[in-house]
Amino acid sequence: MEQSEKIAKSFEEAMEELQKISQKLETEAVSLETAMENFKQGLGLIKFCKKRLAEAELLIQEVDLSDPDNPVIKTKEGRES
């Protein structure tokens, strides 16, 4: 598990941390070394968020409209409702 995944317990927390890093880089005078470390941490958080979004996308439902009078909602896992 990467450091960014240990720090960010949820998608929302990761996004909040990304916002903090962005604000810090925009408003504070930081050394190049600190800026690079913050940038690397941000990249890790972005990777974490993309992974979480991909996982969520797998759960999105699709509607089977092959019979317009009887639409069927299927999850990506194949369950019908």
Structural domain includes residue 25: yes
Question: Which has more confidence, 3 or 17?
Answer: 17
Structural domain includes residue 81: no
pLDDT digits (tens, 9 = 90+) for 13-67: 999 999 999 999 999 899 999 999 999 999 999 999 999 988 877 766 566 777 7
Parent domain of 56 = 3-75
- What is the tally of structural domains in the chain? 1
Structural domain includes residue 80: no
Percent of the chain with pLDDT over 90: 47
Structural domain includes residue 51: yes
Structural domain includes residue 45: yes
> 11: exposed, middle or buried (C-beta count within 10 Å: 0-12, 13-18, 19+)?
middle
Structural domain includes residue 65: yes
Q: What is the pTM of this model?
A: 0.64
The pLDDT assigned to 14 comes to 93
